[in-house]
Amino acid sequence: AQSVTQLDSHVSVSEGTPVLLRCNYSSSYSPSLFWYVQHPNKGLQLLLKYTSAATLVKGINGFEAEFKKSETSFHLTKPSAHMSDAAEYFCVVSAVGGATNKLIFGTGTLLAVQP
């Protein structure tokens, strides 16, 4: 079965410093992985997706993630945090099984950005 583990429930950084949000996955197959962002009382917005092409995936708003099969990791990074990056971030893996498109969500990492 597929699963994702977000290693930190809360991360706090200062504006202008790097961001690292950690995610490990478990999958018997080559997985499809996603990062989503959620601002308060809003829906989820897709940041980026990995679907077995390049292992370094660039997303919106300066975020990127690297797929590392040997470490079963898909960590999200950004070189310089902005106040508007404060939100909750979800690491997601696509469940395998026929034509269905079920996603399995991590429990989220709340990112705080200090001025």
Partner 1 sequence: DGGITQSPKYLFRKEGQNVTLSCEQNLNHDAMYWYRQDPGQGLRLIYYSQIVNDFQKGDIAEGYSVSREKKESFPLTVTSAQKNPTAFYLCASSLSGGNQPQHFGDGTRLSIL
Binding residue for partner 1 (CB under 8 A) from 34, 63, 74, 89?
A: 34
Q: Please, what's the b/e burial string for 58-73 (b: 16 or more CB within 10 A of its CB; e: otherwise)? A: ebeeebbbebeeeeeb
**Binding piece for partner 1, criterion CB under 8 A, among 44-52, 54-62, 66-74, 76-84:** 44-52
Could you tell me if 1 and 18 are in contact, meaning their C-beta atoms sit under 8 angstroms apart?
no
The phi and psi torsions of 26 (rounded to 5 degrees) equal: -130, 125
Q: Does 109 bind partner 1 (CB under 8 A)?
A: no
Binding residue for partner 1 (CB under 8 A) from 60, 102, 112, 114?
A: 102
Q: How long a stretch of residues is the chain?
A: 115
Q: Does 99 bind partner 1 (CB under 8 A)?
A: yes
Binding residue for partner 1 (CB under 8 A) from 32, 57, 74, 113?
A: 32
Could you tell me if 105 and 92 are in contact, meaning their C-beta atoms sit under 8 angstroms apart?
yes
Judged by the rule CB under 8 A, the positions of this chain that interact with partner 1 are 9, 32, 34, 36, 41-46, 49, 51, 90, 94, 96-103, 105-108
